[in-house]
Structure 1
Amino acid sequence: MPTYLPTIVILSAAVLAILVVLYRLYDSRVEQPKKLEDELREGLTDADGRRYKADVMALEPVRKAAAASSYEGNRVIIVRNFGKVPHKPYTMHELLGIEVFVDDRVVGRVVRGGPAKLLDDIAPVVNRVTMRLIFDDPADPDFELVMWDPHDNLTARAEGPRAAMNNARKWFYHVEAVLRRTATSPAPKPAPVSGPPPAPAPLPQV
């Protein structure tokens, strides 16, 4: 056996391992976020094909989750376990509140009809940022999204804890404004359900 053959095998295995790592990074940092954004855009498009712009958006490619909100479009889109569970839309009146956690500590909370806790000043060191949206939905009353976790920094598209905190702050004040506005406006009435057609009038007797 040629003496250089083991070297070629080792180099080939190393190159293959590098290619696998690069593919995983590309898939998690480019492909998965793009697919999540496409899913959110689909949810923000109405039946007439009009697409509403998201006021706030958050992606979590590692856990295949995402969220977007458009006040103009009157909808909040939630993506859980992308590829297995379809996105779920909510109206602004179904949005009940938001909580922001930093290192498992609640630093901000606003709930419809309840006491609010404004966002605290955050210490320079932030290890984990999470937000929880609360809905009027007995089946899925809340949705938790990890916006930054140091263990995800090689795969998630987050730009760092401070960027994640800034995005959480945007979400917090967006939800606060939505709750304030929808508190003074009535919820839209559901469309009437059409019943069966009326029975024909009986024919006159001769």
Structure 2
Amino acid sequence: MPTYLPTIIILSAAVLAILVVLYRVYDSRVEQPRKLEDELRDGLETYKADVMVLEPVRKAAAASSFAGDRLIIVEDFGKKPHRPYKMSQLMGMEVIVDDKVIGRVMRSGPHMMLDDIAPTVHRVTMRLVLDDPAFPSFELVVWDPNDTLTARAEGPRAAINNVRKWFYHVEAVLRRTISAPQPVIGAPAAAAPVRIPDFVPAPSLTPPPAPPPMATAASPALPPASAPPARPEGDVLNAPLIPYI
């Protein structure tokens, strides 16, 4: 057995391991985010996302567009289709840092303003509360130190800034939808209230006066028929011609 054969095997294994690591990094940082963004764009259609969060490691993402009245959530990408929601179905959001809620904004209920977050954190999570009995909430870990090689966020500070942007966006959406609710399309219009007078006069018992008799128009007298004029006996011009033949 040649002495250089084990060295070649070891070098080949090392090169293969490096290629696998590079492929994982490329797939997590380039290919998977691109696929997740395409999935979110398909859900938003022509509208632009106001906020977006991508987590290729967990194959999850979310995007919101107030102009399009849409909230798109992707979970288990490749196995389940994205779930679209209306802004009226967004009930609130919570920010969790190191298993502690540091910010909460809800459509109905107590609010907790987002506190300052220490630069050294171990886990940052955002939770969206939805009006959906099947999926009442969507929880996404946007930073974990165990995902430093493959996480989308460039460190905890970038993850915190993105979560803070989501928090203020949800707060503005809830404030706009509460202060100016949208009318329900297809709902029947409310009828105007009928005003009933406070006093209704009693009907009079006196019979109404009889109408005056109508005068019959006299028919105009026809002129007497005039008799035809009598012909004179000596009128030769009007006499028949037979007696003279």
Fold match, TM over 0.5?
yes
Query: Aligned partners of 1:181 and 1:165: how far apart in 2?
Result: 24
Return the TM-score normalized by structure 2: 0.74
Query: Aligned partners of 2:168 and 2:35: how far apart in 1?
Result: 27
1:141–1:187 Cα change, 3 Å:
farther
1:190–1:153 Cα change, 3 Å:
farther
- Structure ranking higher in helix proportion: 1
What is the RMSD computed on CA atoms of the aligned residues?
1.3
**Which structure 2 residues correspond to residues 115-134 of structure 1 after superposition, within 5 A?**
115-134=110-129
Query: Aligned partners of 1:188 and 1:42: how far apart in 2?
Result: 27
1:9–1:39 Cα change, 3 Å:
same
Q: CA deviation at 1:148?
A: 0.5
Query: Aligned partners of 1:29 and 1:15: how far apart in 2?
Result: 21
> Identity across aligned pairs (percent)?
75
**Greater Rg by CA:** 2
Q: Is contact 1:101-1:131 (8 Å) kept?
A: yes
Query: Aligned partners of 2:83 and 2:182: how far apart in 1?
Result: 19
Return the TM-score normalized by structure 1: 0.88
Structure 2 counterpart of 1:23, one-letter code: Y
Aligned length, in residue pairs? 187
Gaps of 5+ in 2: 188-245
- Greater relative contact order, per chain length (Cα 8 Å cut-off, separation 6+): 1
Q: Is contact 1:126-1:162 (8 Å) kept?
A: no
Structure 1 runs of 4+ off > 6 angstroms? Answer: none
Q: Is contact 1:93-1:187 (8 Å) kept?
A: no
**Which structure 2 residues correspond to residues 151-170 of structure 1 after superposition, within 5 A?**
151-170=146-165
**Which structure 2 residues correspond to residues 54-203 of structure 1 after superposition, within 5 A?**
54-189=49-184
Q: Is contact 2:119-2:156 (8 Å) kept?
A: no
Gaps of 5+ in 1: 46-50, 193-206
Deviation string, structure 1 residues 130-173 (Cα, Å, up to 9, x no partner): 00001111110100011111001101111111110010000000
Q: CA deviation at 1:191?
A: 6.0
Determine the structure 1 residue equivalent to 2:30: 30
